[in-house]
Amino acid sequence: MSVVDHNAIELSPRISEADVADYIALLKPRVMSLVVFTALVGLVIAPGHVHPVLAFTSILCIAVGAGAAGALNMWYESDIDARMSRTANRPIPRGRVTRPEALTFGMTLAFFAVMTLGILVNWIAGSLLAFTIFFYVVIYTMALKRWTAQNIVIGGAAGALPPVVAWAAATGSLSVEPWLLFLIIFFWTPPHFWALALFRSDDYARAGIPMLPVVAGPDATRLQILLYTVVLVAVAVAPWPLGYFDAVYGVTSLVLGAGMLALAANVYRRREGSAALRATRRLFAFSIFYLFALFATLLLEVVAHALAPSVW
Amino acid sequence: MDEKRPPDGIVLTEAQQKSRRQRSIAIALALGVLVVLFFAVTMVKGPAVLNRPL
């Protein structure tokens, strides 16, 4: 049925009134900003010197690639976007941009982002960016999201890859450190999105998306959030004792991790009424700060080291 | 003789013309950035940027 809706033939010519803001909205700018930030950290902590022009090119290509993945996600999901209050205002459900326009826009940007990164920087980074877009659009959006409650667990790999792409762009190779950043984002994704899904479960149920609170119920989701938070905190602290990141990062990670654990435990304990809603909203908001602060610490350490190498 | 004939085909409204102009400018800027980027990287890496083992 949805296929018929998507491909309905328009008999009269349609002249687009979509402006630039509609196309920018297709890029999911808020998601893109997190991608740019995590990629920037991957690029900055990489060893050796990267020419500023190549660094800018790499971050721009990763950002455009992420935006392309967002546009292709909106192209495929326009039917469920229209049914959810959180996404009903996106350009396709509002009728500002058609699905073929979004598909063309997304594919064009994806092509240029991957080719530009590959030609101008290196093909390891270009291939990884292509794989990231493929994973987000085909594996997560098309296959997992409507099929399994583990959608965001496996799909989280796409959101975790940008620092790995950036590291590859800077060094032309891969090593342990970018994969540590990958693991942090990968294990951060479930508690972050399940906290959102807990207070948006009606929305997801209406759209027919098998998010964990819809399929397994809120209590099982609360337990999963707590368990994934324990793993996240351990994974985020581990690079310190393993010798990859230093004590400033380690202590910051411990303090922030304690905050995440406390809020996740609060979500697990408070299961009824406004207190439960408040607890999940707090965890969701803090999880964004947690990831930002953790990566900002790595970034600031590199900047501080560059400014005053003798002190560090 | 002096009467203006209505234009043939589809006539864009003011809003459609404005949004199309905006989109055209955005595409031109994006292409401009791409040209500058390729030029700048060619300067940074040397003219053999496209002539190397993959």
Are B16 and A16 inside 8 Å of each other by CB? yes
What is the model's pLDDT at position B11? 84
What is the model's pLDDT at position A16? 82
CA atoms within 13 A on the CB side of A228: 26
Give the C-alpha separation, A261 to A13, whole Å: 56
Which chain A residues have any C-beta within 8 angstroms of a chain B C-beta? Answer: 13, 15-20, 23, 51, 53-54, 57, 60, 112, 116, 119-120, 123
pTM assigned to the model: 0.90
Give per-residue pLDDT as tens, A197-230.
998 999 999 999 999 999 999 999 999 999 999 9
Phi and psi angles of residue B49, each rounded to the nearest 5 degrees, phi first: -60, -35
The DSSP code for A92 is T
Give the C-alpha separation, A194 to A279, whole Å: 13
Q: Which residues of A touch B41 (CB under 8 A)?
A: 53-54, 57, 120
The DSSP code for A238 is T
B11 → chain A, closest CA residue: A15
Residue among A16, A51, A116 whose CB faces B19 most closely: A16
- Ordered per-residue pLDDT tens for chain A, 312 residues: 444 455 555 556 678 888 999 999 999 999 999 999 999 999 999 998 899 999 999 999 999 999 999 999 999 999 999 999 989 999 999 999 999 999 999 999 999 999 999 999 999 999 999 999 999 999 999 999 999 999 999 999 999 999 999 999 999 999 999 999 999 999 999 999 999 999 899 999 999 999 999 999 999 999 999 999 999 999 999 999 999 998 999 999 999 999 999 999 999 999 988 999 999 999 999 999 999 999 999 999 888 888 877 655
Distances (CA, A) of B26 to A24, A32, A100, B40: 11, 19, 19, 21
Give the C-alpha separation, A258 to A302, whole Å: 24
Q: By C-alpha distance, which of A20, A27, A71, A95 is closest to B19? A: A20
Which chain B residues have any C-beta within 8 angstroms of a chain A C-beta? Answer: 10, 12-13, 15-16, 18-20, 22-23, 26, 34, 37-38, 40-41, 44-45, 49-50, 54
Helix (H, G, I), strand (E, B) or coil at A24: helix
Rounded to a whole number of angstroms, the distance from the CA of B45 to the nearest CA of chain A is: 9
**Sign, CA torsion A231/A233/A236/A242:** negative
Is B45 or A58 the better-scoring residue by pLDDT? A58
Give the C-alpha separation, A138 to B24, whole Å: 30
Give the C-alpha separation, A250 to A240, whole Å: 5
The DSSP code for B50 is G
Label residue B3 by pLDDT band (50, 70, 90).
low
Q: By C-alpha distance, which of A291, A161, A284, A121 is closest to A213? A: A284
